[in-house]
Structure 1
Amino acid sequence: MGTIMFTFLLCFASQMLVYYLMPSTVAALSLSSESDKLALLALKEKLTNGVPESLPSWNESLHFCEWQGVTCGRRHMRVSSLQLANQTWGGTLGPSLGNLTFLKLLMLRNLALHGEIPPQIGRLKRLQNLILGGNKLEGEIPTELSNCTNLEAIELQHNHLTGRVPSWFGSMQLTWLDLASNNLVATIPPSLGNISSLAYLSLSQNHLAGNIPHALGKLSALETLALDLNNLSGQIPDSLYNLSSIQSFVLVENKLFGSLPSNLNLAFPKLEEFLVGGNQISGAFPSSISNITNLKRFDIARNAFSGPIPLTLGQLNKLDSIDIGDNNFGSGGARDLDFLSSLTNCTKLSLLSFYKNRFGGQFPDLIGNFSNLLILDISFNQIYGAIPEKIGKLISLTSLDIGFNHLEGTIPSSIGMLKNIGRLVLQSNKLSGNIPLSIGNLTILSQLFLAANQLQGSIPVTLRYCTKLETVILGINNLSGNIPNETFGYLRGLVLLVLSNNSFTGEIPSEFGNLDQLSQLFIHSNKLSGEIPNQLGGCSSLTKLILRENFFHGNIPSFLGSSIRSLDALDLSRNNFSGTIPFELENLTLLNFLDLSFNNLYGEVPTRGVFSNASQFSLSGNNNLCGGIPQLKLHACFRPPSRKHKRSLKKKLIIIIIISVIGGILIFFITFLAVHSLTRKRKRLPSSPISLQNESLRVTYGDLHEATNGFSSSNLVGVGSFGSVYKGSLLNFERLVAVKVLNLETRGAAKSFVAECNALGKMKHRNLVKILTCCSSVDYKGEDFKAIVFEFMPEGSLENVLHNNEGSENENHSLILSKRVDIALDVAHALDYLHHDEDQVVVHCDIKPSNVLLDEDMVAHLGDFGLARLIHGSTRHSSKDQVDSSTIKGTIGYLPPEYGAGGPVSSEGDIYSYGILLLEMLTGKRPTDNMFYENLSLQKWCKTKISETILDIVDSRLLMSFAEDGTWIVENNIKECLVMFAKIGVACSEEFPTQRMLSKDVIVKLLEIKRKLHVRKNIST
């Protein structure tokens, strides 16, 4: 009875206690909820930068547990989850975040948040998932986060976090750690290997260095390891191959080396992604991957692997992409591509890339079986044959790159079936024929590369339907005809257009002016003519305009400096532009390269903008310019007097004339007496100096004596058959001159003087040495004196450059192949000019390297016409114009054989000497070298080595470097170009004159070599 009573009293007391305590508990819970609400409101203010329109549901009309992104626990009504994403608020994380102490999930992704992660985050002891990816958070990962011992997943990727990867992560029980795309530095802490529960680890795209820790091999639960895009070095630790749960193994773009194990299938049986491209790993292809049946993506590109590709890859029926480009696979043999047959079984394959290897063989027809391919890249190999018609079956292709191979034949019309293609690269092959009309079917094409082939015909008008085109590169082909208005006028999105090194004619289409997005226009080295159309001023986005080596004429339009203010490169050189340089070009503040050389410009040179820095512009070959900055050394421009001074000037002029007349009469009588006195003493009076090219430049013996420091040996630059050449500086003539002083005691010197003056007197060509004046006078001893004054060539002669003569001003020059081709072209143009004049043909008679002079731009000028013979055009084949070669003293080694047999002087004789000069440029050996004796000559030696053994005879300096400022060379074409150059030299120096090439044909062949060699870097063709 007592026990029952005691139990009753105890229950009653308990109920009463609950009754009295209930209000205080409810109040406590209400107070805690209120603190979460205040914390959220304070957090909103920071997250949204105080913009009231943001998070409209966060207001008093709703309980905070119903606010957007907020979830509360049912028991305590406290915030347990906060999830907000994909906004552009750009705010910060406020410290009030630390008051949400019941928070388990915090996801604030892609909100453009900046600032640091507040240390108050360490108060969130219940936090399990921290997701702050896709923001702009800065600073280091706060150490206070280590207090959040319940964390399972941390995602801080795509921020601006700095500092090290915290080592204290190793004490947490994480399953997911993503710190990718930040600015973390130093090494990977080995302590990460202690997180035995970790399934996902990504430290991609940071600045981590050092070795991959061996301890990471302890992460037995790891399924994804992503350490790509860092600066990691050393070998891949063997311990990583113990991670049998790995599905994704990503180490792309580091500095790792070593080799891969032969049993990858046993190490990673669950592997789906194996991406180690962009390292320095070597060895054979890991053929064991053929047994990893789940493999989807495989990338070992940009490494140093070599050897054959296994024929068992077809077992990978889930394979989606394979990239083995930029390695050393293949041998150039016909069976190198046999592995493709196996890959046709991989029906899900969307990416196939094996660019920049050594694969040979014929382009196989079976390529049409890869029906699901999106990307095919086999460029930079040695694949030959025709592009198969079945290429049109790859209707899913978005990118096709088969450039830089040895493909021949025409572009198949089936290419027009690739209607999903956005990038088409066929450049640097040997493709011929026309561009197919079916290319107009590629209506979403944005990039078209057909450069460096042998394509012919005109640009198809159907190209107008490819309205998405941004890049069109058709340079270095044999395309001709007009550039059609009706085609490019439709391509309004065009950014880059390259039509250079073809044979286009006509004018620049006026509809180019509609291309307001056009940034770079390269149409140089064609046969275009006319004036630059005013409509081109509509291309306001142009940064590069290259029009050199055409036949454009007229004035340089001022709109180039007023409407196109974004230009950084303008090249109008080697055309027929005339008039003055527009001062508007001074306004181009971004211009750092301007070339107006070799035109017919005259007048004042501007001094501001690009014209203030001589290294940024070139005006060579415009001989009537004046003014400019002092470094140009141009004569001052004439300034006409103003009106207010005309009257006083008129009076002064009358006075000057009167004084001049009186002075002239006095001088006449004094001169008469002097002549009379000299005649009696049998002293000859100096005759008037001959002035040919420059009527304002008249010189005497005294002028030349002073200009050359008394013909000092320190001014001596060369000695020839008939005299010596001195460098000098004439008073009131700002450019340096070369003075050739004839040694009149040498037999034939006087005739040489007359021949050279007559030959060069009226000839004007940019590749002939310009004669400034001839001086026939007497020296201070009363002896005859004859001299010829030329423009000085600062780079000396080709002889010095080729053979590196000691003491030469250019002994450090080493001519690369492209420059030798340019010089050969310059000399060929000069000979073509001399040999094909309608009124008189000039035969030089002494073509050799020492008579080829180089200006400051390394442009060649043919000089020394002391042996030249003139043959009148109307009677060029008559006997009276044929000169007995016995009177000719050419140079041994360069003389044609018919001259030695008493044959007549002819243009074919010059071609023979020119051919020997070409072979000397190719081999670096003179025709008089000791190795040539009896029946072996330079010509015969080259002729026997002209094909497979061409590299045995080539000047060794040509094999050291094949690139020059602003250009690069297609490697596969180097040998071919050397053979072509040798064939020209051999054909020009054949024994019989009728078998030798014509100068015009020489020019065509050399231009073909030039097209194969030169392509601009900043075009990426």
Structure 2
Amino acid sequence: MSSLIFLAIANNSLVGQLPFNIGYTLPNIQGLILSTNNFSGSIPASLLKAYHLRKLYLYNNSFTGFIPSFSSLPNLKELDLSYNKLKAGDWGFISSLSNCSRLTMLMLDGNNLQGNLPSSIGNLSNSLQQFFLRNNKISGPIPPEIGNLEGLSWLYMDYNLFTGKIPPTIGNLYSMVYLSFAQNLLSGEIPDTIGNLVQLSSLKLDWNNFTGKIPGSIGRCTQLQNLNLAHNSLDGSIPRNIFKIYSLTGELDLSHNYFSGGMPEEVGNLINLNKLSISNNRLSGNIPSTLGQCVVLENLEMQSNFFVGSIPQSFVKLVSIKSMDISRNSLHGKISEFLATLSSLEKLNISFNNFYGEVPRGGIFDNADAVSIQGNDHLCTSVPTGGVSLCSPQVDDKKQKHNSLVLVLKIVMPIVVTIIILSCIAKIYWRKRVQGNTHLQIVNEHIKNISYEDIVRATNKFSSANLIGSGSFGTVYKGTLQFKKDQVAIKLQKDQVAIKIFNLNNYGANRSFIAECEALRNVRHRNLVKIITSCSSVDSTGADFKALVFQYMPNGNLEMWLHPEDLEHGERHILTLRQRINIGLDVAFALDYLHNQCASPLIHCDLKPSNILLDLDMVAYVTDFGLSRFVFTASNAYKDSSTSLACLKGSIGYIPPEYGMSEEISTKGDVYSFGVLLLQMITGRSPTDGKFSDGASLHEFVRRAFPDNICEIVDPTMLQHDSNAPEVMKNCVIPMVKIGLSCSMTSPKERPDMGHVSAEILRIKHLASHMDVR
């Protein structure tokens, strides 16, 4: 049909290769729409002889090979090659497209384009309006010549490996409406010329490593609807003029940066904003009451900052709010009753603050799964519920007045006595004050400059009596740090410490030390082991010496509690079901923090029982970050994350199966290790047990018994004190096993996120407390 002008057969199930002579048999074709089929093979060379071709859509097929030259198609206006398996070669096709002076749309996203984007990109048609390069593996800098494409209104270069800075010439693209450089490895400051793009509707620069302040010029982009700068290293205060961009109706995401100072009162100007996220920064002060004016707001994320004060009463106006997270701040006061009246509210997280008093009833508070209040030690409830203590009963008014008088007397009399005593000891205190301050200065100075000799004294010359563990890269001793100042011995810490000494003769030990220092420098969580100081010095022979000093955990690690028979003189430790649930929750909270709440997500890579430490109260702490990897940081970046598997050791039984197939490490790898750990805690069986051979695994062993025969494989010691074992098995053990199985699935896509996991275990913990599980 040589006279055919337009052929559209998109969205079918056609297969095979295009006819090699298609360009000759259809010489008058102007529009060829073949999108969303399953065509394969290369793009026929004859197609490039169809002189009249204006629209070529090959989107979402399986075409392979190099993208050909298009210089023979001067009438081409729209070219969509996205989501195939095409390669760039020497990028010569970009130069050829400069002959297509009518080109308005170029879609190349979702292919296998690699290498540096050539400067010839600046020679494309000034008529080009839409340019998509997302979801490739393009590296190197963004060419400054991109600023020549003044007709662009859509530019998507996200999900690549671009490095360097955004060229200032980006400010020449005055017609730009949608711009995204997200999910790359870009760095440096955001150029001030970004403010020239006054027609911008969406700007996404998230998941890079931008530094410095947000340019004030961004306030000139008065048509912005979406602004996402999350997961960078931006600092300083949040510019007030951002909150004068009244067009912001979609999202404003500034989370996972280093912003400080207070939240500007001008936030109340964004009355049509749908989502506001400022979580995981260093913001402080009170939450501005003007935020209550954002009546269309559906999602509010303010967690992991340093906000103080109470929840503003103006939040009662947030009638559209669906999700509110103000956890991990320093908020205090009673939980506002009006939160129960917000009918749209579906998820509320106020955990780890300083709230006190009775938890409100009604509304969202009647759904335990929708509210997180843990970490507020002074909350109580009038209705029995798991995890929260009952409030004290109310007394009548007369009795209350009497009690108040008694209380006053009890307070006043000791104060009078105290004043007398204080006046007597004031002189003594004053004499010792100077001496005490001098001592503190000495201690603070020494803790930053700990030496090899200090370590020798602390461990009693590395006495075997102080040896408490060993691993691939060194040994761990217990001891008490002390040093001599003017011939006087001064203890640096009253309690014992754990000292990890790296054997630098072992390959990878030095890198492990650096990795652990980098990880512990950037993280802070109640369930992560706390580092006291480090030592990078030389020993008595002049050789390099490196050590880390941690808080000492008197209850050892989880391994010795689960498998004491593996120890030479181990005593039988019994872990109750409640303790196992609490330990599982502690570890889940720690991983959720590492994966979802750090400025750069951190993958632990070696989660196992021996790396879970227990304090006197059996609170669990995750330790040993020697194999950990940050995601999307300038130092390891995308490349390091993928190639690091070659030297990644991990621990047999806990390494996810995809790592054996050379896939990139991911947070889902930690989820797998956690799943194995959870199954191990419930069954008391190690994943390296001799019974698991010939391809068998702990996961398969548990799966075969789940759920009907699960009672036959659980550790019998954990239920020996629970009188109502069948109910406990049904409501606590089986749900815990279900979580362990889902986390240890073979496919990473089938594993849940640690945020979901921690929420599920928290629900089980509340239920266990309500059932009085021991």
TM-score by length of 1: 0.44
Counterpart for residue 619 of structure 1: 373
Cα separation, 2, equivalents of 1:471 and 1:382: 26
Counterpart for residue 692 of structure 2: none
Which letter maps to 1:518? L
| CA gap 1:385/1:327 in 2 versus in 1, 3 angstroms | same
In the alignment, which of 217, 221, 225 is matched to residue 462 of structure 1?
Answer: 217
> Tell me, what secondary structure is at the counterpart of 1:440?
helix
Given that 1:553 and 1:578 are in contact with CA atoms closer than 8 Å, whether structure 2 keeps it comes out as yes
| CA gap 1:957/1:355 in 2 versus in 1, 3 angstroms | farther
Which letter maps to 1:643? D
Give yes or no for the alignment of 1:832 onto 2:530. Answer: yes
Cα separation, 2, equivalents of 1:441 and 1:421: 10
Which letter maps to 1:495? G
Given that 2:588 and 2:754 are in contact with CA atoms closer than 8 Å, whether structure 1 keeps it comes out as no
| CA gap 1:514/1:646 in 2 versus in 1, 3 angstroms | closer
1:222-237 to 2 correspondence within 5 Å? Answer: none
| CA gap 1:268/1:956 in 2 versus in 1, 3 angstroms | farther
What is the CA-CA distance between 1:353 and the residue it aligns to? 1.0
In the alignment, which of 160, 178, 186 is matched to residue 431 of structure 1?
Answer: 186
What is the CA-CA distance between 1:947 and the residue it aligns to? 4.0
Given that 2:228 and 2:254 are in contact with CA atoms closer than 8 Å, whether structure 1 keeps it comes out as yes
In the alignment, which of 49, 53, 75 is matched to residue 318 of structure 1?
Answer: 75
| CA gap 1:590/1:850 in 2 versus in 1, 3 angstroms | farther
Counterpart for residue 585 of structure 1: 339
| CA gap 1:894/1:494 in 2 versus in 1, 3 angstroms | closer
| CA gap 1:616/1:921 in 2 versus in 1, 3 angstroms | same
| CA gap 1:459/1:920 in 2 versus in 1, 3 angstroms | closer
Cα separation, 1, equivalents of 2:265 and 2:337: 24
Q: How big is the alpha-carbon RMSD for the aligned residues of Structure 1 and Structure 2?
A: 4.1
1:97-116 to 2 correspondence within 5 Å? Answer: none
In the alignment, which of 328, 332, 338 is matched to residue 85 of structure 2?
Answer: 328
What is the CA-CA distance between 1:256 and the residue it aligns to? 3.5
Give yes or no for the alignment of 1:292 onto 2:46. Answer: no
1:49-60 to 2 correspondence within 5 Å? Answer: none
1:743-800 deviation line (CA, Å, top 9, x unaligned):
xxxxxxxxxxxxxxx969xx9xxxxxxxxxxxxxxxxxxxxxxxxxxxxxxxxxxxxx
Which letter maps to 2:67? I
In the alignment, which of 43, 46, 65 is matched to residue 307 of structure 1?
Answer: 65
What is the CA-CA distance between 1:418 and the residue it aligns to? 0.3
Given that 1:834 and 1:842 are in contact with CA atoms closer than 8 Å, whether structure 2 keeps it comes out as yes
| CA gap 1:415/1:974 in 2 versus in 1, 3 angstroms | farther
What is the CA-CA distance between 1:400 and the residue it aligns to? 0.7
Which letter maps to 1:485? R
What is the CA-CA distance between 1:320 and the residue it aligns to? 0.1
Counterpart for residue 153 of structure 1: none
Q: Which moved more, 1:337-346 or 1:321-330?
A: 337-346
Cα separation, 1, equivalents of 2:610 and 2:321: 50
In the alignment, which of 322, 339, 343 is matched to residue 97 of structure 2?
Answer: 343
> Tell me, what secondary structure is at the counterpart of 2:324?
strand
Counterpart for residue 434 of structure 2: none
Which letter maps to 2:51? T
Cα separation, 2, equivalents of 1:593 and 1:508: 23
> Tell me, what secondary structure is at the counterpart of 2:530?
helix
Give yes or no for the alignment of 1:392 onto 2:147. Answer: yes
> Tell me, what secondary structure is at the counterpart of 1:408?
strand
Cα separation, 2, equivalents of 1:599 and 1:285: 60
Cα separation, 2, equivalents of 1:277 and 1:445: 29
Which letter maps to 2:183? S
Cα separation, 2, equivalents of 1:622 and 1:317: 69
Cα separation, 2, equivalents of 1:263 and 1:568: 57
Counterpart for residue 903 of structure 1: none
Cα separation, 2, equivalents of 1:318 and 1:956: 60
Q: Which moved more, 1:382-391 or 1:413-422?
A: 382-391
> Tell me, what secondary structure is at the counterpart of 2:41?
strand
Given that 2:558 and 2:609 are in contact with CA atoms closer than 8 Å, whether structure 1 keeps it comes out as no
| CA gap 1:946/1:828 in 2 versus in 1, 3 angstroms | farther
Given that 1:492 and 1:516 are in contact with CA atoms closer than 8 Å, whether structure 2 keeps it comes out as no
Which letter maps to 1:622? N
Given that 2:559 and 2:610 are in contact with CA atoms closer than 8 Å, whether structure 1 keeps it comes out as no
1:595-625 deviation line (CA, Å, top 9, x unaligned):
1111111111122121111111211111211
* Structure number with bigger Rg: 1
1:478-503 deviation line (CA, Å, top 9, x unaligned):
10000011333244444310001100
Cα separation, 2, equivalents of 1:973 and 1:457: 29
| CA gap 1:339/1:325 in 2 versus in 1, 3 angstroms | same
Cα separation, 2, equivalents of 1:1016 and 1:387: 36
| Structure 2: segments with no counterpart, 5+ residues | 407-466, 469-493, 498-518, 535-548, 561-581, 592-607, 613-620, 630-639, 671-752, 757-774
What is the CA-CA distance between 1:635 and the residue it aligns to? 2.3
| CA gap 1:828/1:547 in 2 versus in 1, 3 angstroms | closer
What is the CA-CA distance between 1:529 and the residue it aligns to? 0.8
> Tell me, what secondary structure is at the counterpart of 1:858?
helix
Give yes or no for the alignment of 1:376 onto 2:74. Answer: no
Counterpart for residue 554 of structure 1: 309
| CA gap 1:439/1:540 in 2 versus in 1, 3 angstroms | same
Cα separation, 2, equivalents of 1:339 and 1:405: 19
1:406-805 to 2 correspondence within 5 Å? Answer: 406-560=161-315, 562-627=316-381, 630-643=384-397
> Tell me, what secondary structure is at the counterpart of 1:918?
coil
| CA gap 1:631/1:259 in 2 versus in 1, 3 angstroms | farther
Cα separation, 2, equivalents of 1:421 and 1:613: 46
Which letter maps to 1:266? Y
Given that 1:428 and 1:450 are in contact with CA atoms closer than 8 Å, whether structure 2 keeps it comes out as yes
1:931-957 deviation line (CA, Å, top 9, x unaligned):
xxxxxxxxxxxx9x9847246868797
| CA gap 1:520/1:972 in 2 versus in 1, 3 angstroms | farther
Given that 2:33 and 2:58 are in contact with CA atoms closer than 8 Å, whether structure 1 keeps it comes out as yes
Cα separation, 1, equivalents of 2:102 and 2:648: 46
Give yes or no for the alignment of 1:271 onto 2:29. Answer: yes
Cα separation, 2, equivalents of 1:627 and 1:602: 10
Counterpart for residue 768 of structure 2: none
What is the CA-CA distance between 1:841 and the residue it aligns to? 8.8
Counterpart for residue 858 of structure 1: 588
Cα separation, 2, equivalents of 1:412 and 1:824: 30
Cα separation, 1, equivalents of 2:522 and 2:657: 20
| CA gap 1:830/1:538 in 2 versus in 1, 3 angstroms | same
Cα separation, 1, equivalents of 2:252 and 2:666: 26
> Tell me, what secondary structure is at the counterpart of 1:615?
helix
1:791-837 deviation line (CA, Å, top 9, x unaligned):
xxxxxxxxxxxxxxxxxxxxxxxxxxxxxx9999567875437669x
Cα separation, 1, equivalents of 2:523 and 2:55: 52
Cα separation, 2, equivalents of 1:474 and 1:249: 43
Percent identity of equivalent pairs = 31
> Tell me, what secondary structure is at the counterpart of 1:506?
strand
What is the CA-CA distance between 1:532 and the residue it aligns to? 0.6
Given that 1:847 and 1:894 are in contact with CA atoms closer than 8 Å, whether structure 2 keeps it comes out as no
Q: How many residues align?
A: 492
Which letter maps to 1:250? A
What is the CA-CA distance between 1:577 and the residue it aligns to? 1.1
Q: Which moved more, 1:274-283 or 1:295-304?
A: 274-283
> Tell me, what secondary structure is at the counterpart of 1:464?
helix
| CA gap 1:568/1:955 in 2 versus in 1, 3 angstroms | farther
Which letter maps to 1:369? N
Given that 1:826 and 1:859 are in contact with CA atoms closer than 8 Å, whether structure 2 keeps it comes out as no
Q: Which moved more, 1:263-272 or 1:340-349?
A: 263-272
Higher relative contact order (CA 8 A, sep 6+): 2
Given that 2:309 and 2:330 are in contact with CA atoms closer than 8 Å, whether structure 1 keeps it comes out as yes
| Structure 1: segments with no counterpart, 5+ residues | 1-242, 654-720, 723-757, 764-820, 862-890, 896-912, 923-942, 963-970, 979-1013
Q: Which moved more, 1:387-396 or 1:258-267?
A: 258-267
> Tell me, what secondary structure is at the counterpart of 1:428?
coil
